[in-house]
Amino acid sequence: MIKQVEQICTPDRMLQVVNKAEQNSLQEQIYDTFVLRLVSCIQLASKLSLHYNAVNSDTALKFLRSLKYSYTKQELLESELAVLETLQFQINVSTPLAYTELLLEVLGHNGCLLPAKPLHQMCVQLLDFFYLKRDTIYDTLLNVAIENLTPSELQIAKFLIVKEDLMLLAVGIISTSAFMLNPERWKKVVEHLNCITGITSQSISEFSYAVLKHVIGSTTPKQ
């Protein structure tokens, strides 16, 4: 959006803005473009994460028209392209949330016994909490994994690969969420996650323990 404003507010054009009416016209153009770019960003994000429920052009145009904008489908496509070019087409970046939502979809397809919406909401909340306490939680996980409170430099170095494993993080967040929502069905969820990802039940349990210890001070689940 900054680049778009720079394109609209060129030095030559700014020199020509001499009265209030022209200033208002310029502000309105920036605002209108901002709304269009925002819709394009939502479209692109939905295509990356919502798959078959992605926001298509017809839905986007209908929304824009409800706001009294008269953009065409061609203008909408050009806006998407402008966003992609600004980002240098580097938008398919893996995130913990993307991994989490993908696993939740698979769990739902496999007949997970927990309601999807509460589980998703809990996962999002736990991810927020996790990033506030990321280093502390990983320190706890390392201590649990090596069964020692004073890891060596070599152990710390080897543990870096664990901190970069987004699939493990997603599995741990889902497992912890399942435990907090329904402890009785937690083991079944862990079994499903183990079958889907190949991550051992022990690793999943240890991750959940590390998160729970900082969420509620619990020493469970731990196997």
pLDDT tens by residue, 92-115: 777 898 899 889 988 988 887 788
- Of residues 111 and 43, more confidently modeled: 43
Contacts of residue 182, Cβ cutoff 8 Å, sequence gap at least 6 = 113, 114
pLDDT single digits (tens) 183-201: 999 999 999 999 999 999 9
Lowest mean pLDDT among 88-97, 116-125, 158-167, 207-216: 88-97
- End-to-end, the C-alpha distance of the chain in Å comes to 50
Lowest mean pLDDT among 16-20, 23-27, 158-162: 16-20
What confidence tier does 220 reach under pLDDT thresholds 50, 70, 90?
Answer: low
What confidence tier does 116 reach under pLDDT thresholds 50, 70, 90?
Answer: confident
H runs (alpha helix) in the chain? 2-8, 11-16, 20-49, 57-66, 73-86, 96-109, 116-132, 134-146, 153-163, 166-181, 186-197, 201-215
Residue 114 and residue 190 in contact, taking contact as beta carbons nearer than 8 Å = no
Count the alpha carbons within 13 Å of 2 in the hemisphere toward its beta carbon: 1
